[in-house]
Structure 1
Amino acid sequence: MQRLLDKVSCAALCFALLSITRVQLKPLGEQEKMIQLEAVKKSILDRLGLHKPPVIREKLDRDELRKMHWLYQEKLMELRGNLTKDETPERRVHLLTPRIERSTKKGDLQRSSSHHYNLVFSRTQTFHQRLNIMRAELKLCKHILAALRPAAANSSTKVIANIYKVVESRNANGGPESKLLDSKPIDKDTLTLNVNMAVQQWLASSDKCLRLELVITLDAPFVSDGSKQIESEDALVLEVETQEKTFFKTRKGRSVAADEDCKKSEKKCCRKSLTVSFEQIGWSDWIVHPSTYEMRFCDGSCPHNYKPASMHAQIKYRMHHINGNTPAPCCVPGSYDPMVLMHYNAERKLVFTVFEDMIVKKCHCA
């Protein structure tokens, strides 16, 4: 009983002293944040080889600072490219053959120096909106080019292949309009026309078909056999190289790993975040960019078979469950995103420092 009274008296005395000295008791959450901020500050200084923040008296002028910002962005792009190099999906080539129709809207084609062909391409199941277009080329097959050579030999000018995208006219009474995509002379064994822009727009839309117009101009008669060959199914092929879309972080810092964040009342292994403002901690005078840092850390329990990092983690849990002598798996970072710090160093020069393992991307149990 006496011990209990002593403890109560001690607690009352401590509370009285705190009241007299006007020390405010902070919630546990605020205390944790202060500890985390101090840990961040200490870790950054240690990594940079600094005992304390440098004192900056003279800063770069506006033009020099703009140049450094440009170099900073280049460094970020380089890092992102290296980071996703191994994760980039393989590229795939799609070969689309068109339905070819001879156009008669230009008048008597037997007398005309231009020959027009309507090309209609249809979507396939593997050609969907979740793809990025890396390259899109319309290729004329070798036997078509061979058929055009006699006409080219009798022509005083070069035989030109033009490819147009057919679009609806903006005029109320007007018919379809043609927009030039590429134009090349037929003077080689192979010929490819760039239709990248048209294919990108087609893929992003909900249109089922892409309509192009091929126009071959020459001032010599084009024999009927050649015309028939162009109208054949194997005359032209649209070769499109694609890649599955990847989603980088947006300006707000969200990414495809956002589902790693702890949900409300989540107690299992997940990712927590704390935004650190370099201005609020008094470091904005020597850390130029970024202005804030989103500190992420892994926390939570690791029950059986939950986010196991490896087979070893699963065995580790079973051994812990059997005898308790083996430590249970812990919630730890599984991968990181890099961060580039633009700051003044000990010599008061503006430099870049890359932190490869500072931003937690995913958490797992190990």
Structure 2
Amino acid sequence: MTLTTDHPSIPPRRIGVLLINLGTPDDATPRAVRRYLGEFLSDRRVVEIPGLIWQPILRGIILNTRPKKSAHAYAQVWRDDGSPLAAITEAQATALAGAFGPDVIVDWAMRYGRPAIADRLAALKAQGCERILLAPLYPQYCAATTATANDKAFVALAGMRWQPAVRTLPPYHDDPAYIGALKDMIEAELAALDFSPQALVASFHGMPQRTLELGDPYHCHCAKTARLLSDALGRELMLAFQSRFGRAKWLEPATDATLAALPGKGVTRVAIVAPGFAADCLETLEELAIRGRQTFLDAGGTDFAYLPCLNDSAIGIAMLKSILSRELAGWNAPA
């Protein structure tokens, strides 16, 4: 009997790192935004309302009214290379290429929209990645961000016959590398301003108050980031939460209300930073830098500055390399 050796070739063993961020529509049109919001707002991690109640509201009201308004907002921040969030996340992955050795492949994906997590995991596996670090780029843990990104990856893994070994990036809200990077970026941006802010606001994405009551550590993580950053900068930060949606009570104080109230308290010069975002996106570039500015000026403010996220800056990439190297330790990836 003759034994054959015909079988699919097995690629060299490699390690994968998958950067994951929230997501974005494919373009700034109501149709694309409707498709994106349909996926995003159907996630039970995001909207914790029974589907029989929520889906008629989503399909019958929200997806027929919100996409046009959101598309207009996206159009104000859209870049020549597409969505800011997608373009910056891709740039982060590109900047990290080769940072962990020749056998470590860095890729990126979006929880909602494209490139899809399942597609990029399959691509990493096809390139021989037998070990993959899932890296949701959320410094503060939240079930509606970190957990749902991991959920989506685990669903993809469930369909694989030959699964890679997997690790997940833990929250890094109090990591010295993260706090230090924020400090250095903020100090550089403040030094470049033509005015001296009387107040520095740290705005985090909001979540319903109910999530805190159910045990989600997000609020505590945001508060600790703000406290550590305030200590590092040697100046007080005002903690606030943005992006309220619906009628439920959300985490407070609200960013828009905070900005509107400051001039009445004699604070007419302000700078705002968004430490919970790894990359600038609609919520920072449109909601804070455009609408937040207008809210502050309309209330009597005179000077306003939005300080950018770490993005793919040298400071930001060095921070990502530091925390990712730590999680890759023991997988034969150099620190």
Relative CO higher for 1 or 2, CA cutoff 8 Å, sep ≥ 6?
2
TM-score, scaled to structure 1: 0.20
Higher percent of residues as helix: 2
Higher percent of residues as strand: 1
TM-score, scaled to structure 2: 0.21
The structure number with the bigger radius of gyration is 1
